[in-house]
Homo-oligomer: A and B are copies of this chain.
Amino acid sequence: MTQPQTQPRTTAARAALAAQTIELPSWAFGNSGTRFKVFGQPGVPRDPYEKIADAAQVHRYTGAAPRVSLHIPWDLVDDFGALRRHAEDLGVQLGAINSNVFQDDDYMLGSLTNPDPKVRRKAVDAHLRCLEVMNETGSQDLKIWLADGLNYPGQDDLRSRQDRLAEGLAEIYAALAPHQRIILEYKFFEPAFYATDVPDWGTSLLHCMALGEQAMVVLDTGHHAPGTNIEFIVAQLLRVGRLGAFDFNSRFYADDDLMVGAADPFQLFRIMNEIVAAGALDPDSGVNFMLDQCHNIEPKIPGQIRSVMNVQEATAKALLVDRDALAAAQRSGDVLGAHGVLMDAYNTDVRSLLADLRTEQGLDPDPMVAYAASGYGERIAAERVGGAQAGWGA
């Protein structure tokens, strides 16, 4: 339990935490729900400008969320230059561009994998349009998550779909600028209920390797089979240099997009421990840390603030691991000792460390309280009257 000489570790942790940034998803500020019901909330944004305004609030109180991912076509605007200036005026930047090829009727049986070549053409074009948006927004990452898959055995040919996918991705990849990347997400299931065309990290990695060095895997913490050891995948992708980004969220069952760290904070710590151990917290590591989650019943801005704080707390604990002691215990085969070193860090209460850091940064030590006291939530509820609230359909 005792941790001699923790002071240097705490100092280093503080510096790393001060440099850590987490990208926010624009769609977290719109309405979301389940197939059973989407519950609207007062004050929800009606357009991308309002989404970014809300995202800027999260950064204002945490100091750690300076970028906002966009979802295209949900976040299409006439003038992305204007949107970009709007963001910068509010102190944030536009981040990754997420392609959406699952909400047009044509995509019912797939997008890049659709048996119909006309639909595949349309899906490729949608991605090329995203690349144009990226050129306008200055975004570097095209994040591709496909809803493609099958609901019934026999519905389509599993292998042909992989070939079509490879072909479509290759055409998109060819249009990348040298500083841009494709980051390819995988998901165990949903909305496809029998087979998903990019169901696991192995499939995503195979496609990335076929594409080239500007293609990287996205790991979404909610997209795995029950029991999957996610930190192992993190370690493996880092080892082969192909972890492009993280989509943070959490879940008890399937992909239910709960706030990161809410379901299994120890798992989040173990994940961040692999990140820290591999040096991947370094802003130059090429790993983009993002939230990708929804707030169905909780208020959205506080939900995002809490999520950022949860990532920070898990990161702080990972930074406090006594790596020399850990390595020594591991080398000597001391199972309980090595486990104990890790648990010592996990069991530490890092909230005051982070509060101090915020104070040092000129922020309120408690972002949740500070945001609540700001009156912003009440203000948008009062002001944003009329118009259609943003949701997954827009």
* A residues neighboring B (CB under 8 Å): 1-2, 32-37, 39-40, 102-103, 105, 107-109, 115-116, 147, 151-159, 162-163, 188-191, 193-196, 199-203, 205-206, 224-229, 231-232, 235-236, 238-240, 251-254, 256, 258-259, 262-267, 270, 274, 277-278, 296-299, 302-303, 306, 313, 326-327, 330-333, 335-336, 338-343, 346-349, 351, 355, 366, 368-369, 392
Contact present for B335 and A188 (CB under 8 Å): no
Given contacts A152-B262, A159-B278, are A236 and B147 in contact (CB under 8 A)?
A: no
Instruction: Tell me which residues across on chain B come within 8 A of A163, comparing CB atoms.
Output: 239
CA distance A240 to B368 in the complex (A): 39
The 8 closest A-B pairs by CB, nearest first: A202-B202, A154-B342, A225-B225, A349-B349, A193-B256, A34-B191, A152-B339, A226-B226
Contact present for B155 and A335 (CB under 8 Å): yes
CA distance A188 to B200 in the complex (A): 14
Instruction: Name A252's contact: one of B39, B229, B330, B355 (CB within 8 Å).
Output: B229
Per assembly, the copies of the chain total 4
Instruction: Tell me which residues across on chain B come within 8 A of A254, comparing CB atoms.
Output: 189-190, 253-254
* Extra contacts besides A151-B258, A153-B266, A264-B264 (15): CB < 8 Å: A35-B191, A109-B333, A156-B338, A157-B277, A158-B236, A158-B274, A193-B256, A195-B231, A199-B232, A200-B202, A201-B202, A227-B253, A266-B266, A348-B349, A349-B349
Instruction: Tell me which residues across on chain B come within 8 A of A102, comparing CB atoms.
Output: 36-37
CA distance A277 to B157 in the complex (A): 9
CA distance A195 to B116 in the complex (A): 42
28 A-B contacts (beta carbon < 8 Å):
A1-B351, A34-B191, A35-B191, A36-B191, A109-B297, A115-B333, A151-B296, A152-B258, A152-B259, A152-B339, A153-B266, A154-B340, A157-B277, A159-B235, A159-B277, A163-B239, A188-B253, A193-B256, A194-B252, A194-B263, A199-B229, A200-B202, A202-B205, A206-B240, A225-B226, A266-B266, A303-B336, A347-B349
Contact present for B190 and A34 (CB under 8 Å): yes
Contact present for A252 and B227 (CB under 8 Å): yes
Contact present for A188 and B227 (CB under 8 Å): yes
Contact present for B155 and A338 (CB under 8 Å): yes
Given contacts A202-B205, A235-B158, A335-B152, are A36 and B392 in contact (CB under 8 A)?
A: yes
Instruction: Tell me which residues across on chain B come within 8 A of A206, comparing CB atoms.
Output: 205, 236, 240
Instruction: Tell me which residues across on chain B come within 8 A of A226, comparing CB atoms.
Output: 225-227
Instruction: Tell me which residues across on chain B come within 8 A of A39, comparing CB atoms.
Output: 105, 108
